[in-house]
Structure 1
């Protein structure tokens, strides 16, 4: 199982490393796949050019044993002074609600998901920003979530063929 996890981490790392639009991409592993409500991972990144739009994504890795078809989480976006710019509750659909077929990319019993949560977002100014994620399900701990993270990418121009 550990070899499968490391192979998946390596594969994801290689794929992300090839994305020239990525400004930031980071995961936090969830200990023993048990995501407690009090465990709210934070991701700090720097925006050097606030004049261009960015796409922001949730990255999530779960096992097939995850007990729900969806996941609610709350995100908090803060500027470098700690001032909250936004907080929002989002629902991520991890599996088809009717068939149970997992969404995302799978390897063994692990599935990676990438969910867009902000398209063409303009940051207020250059600087450091932090996004904190908190699971918002009724189960504490939430089982079989392996890791969670975010990606920040330069938005591709509308006329781009990529």
Structure 2
């Protein structure tokens, strides 16, 4: 089999597997150049909430290296409605590694780990429609090394 044919088959398999995820409403990830998250690099995630009566989970997707120099990550987020009004904002801390053992959380291969973190469990949006979540890293080091990507996932809670 040629390399192109193998690549095409792998892409099709990934597409089929990702389309089976019925709870996912939205998911987007941003890759960082040189695996460094600059302090002033604000990530904007725009999504639509189809039913404001439904509870949703908002999760963060973090891809990081086992060489990440800290065991945790602080981010600050702002949730905005379609008119740009702030609905919610918060500074959130999350552990990427066990603080005692240094063991990384998530699934990893060759020292790179993917970790999905529940940020807003069972969140009820005020109304159906478009929203934005803006996220910045809030650590003391700039740029923050060994962070490959950061993303956001919105899914139906309990699905």
Q: Please, what TM-score do these two structures have when normalized by structure 1?
A: 0.86
- Partner in structure 2 of residue 151 of structure 1: 153
Mapped partners of 1:141, 1:93: distance in 2: 19
Structure 2, unpaired ranges of 5+: 1-6
C-alpha contact 1:75 1:133 (8 A) present in aligned 2: yes
Q: Deviation per CA, 1:84-139, whole angstroms, max 9, x where unpaired?
A: 11110111100111111111111111101111111111111111101111000000
- Give, in angstroms, the shift of residue 15 of structure 1: 5.5
Task: Select 2:82's aligned residue among 55, 59, 80.
Answer: 80
- Does residue 99 (structure 1) correspond to residue 109 (structure 2)? The answer is no
1:1-162 correspondence runs (5 A): 16-156=18-158
Q: Take 2:85 and 2:153, find their aligned partners in 1: how far apart are those partners?
A: 21
Larger Rg computed on CA atoms: 2
Whole-angstrom CA distance in 2 between matches of 1:13 and 1:73: 30
Gaps in structure 1 of 5+ consecutive residues:
1-5, 158-162
Alignment: residue pair count: 149
Shift of 1:36: 0.7
Runs of 4+ in 1 over 6 A off after TM superposition: 10-14
Distance change in 2, residues 1:16/1:53 (3 Å): same
Let me know the Cα RMSD of the aligned residues.
1.9
Q: Hey, what's the Cα distance between the residues in 2 that align with 1:19 and 1:119?
A: 18
CA distance in 2, matches of 1:74, 1:13: 32
CA distance in 2, matches of 1:85, 1:31: 31
Q: Distance in 2 between matches of 1:114 and 1:100?
A: 18
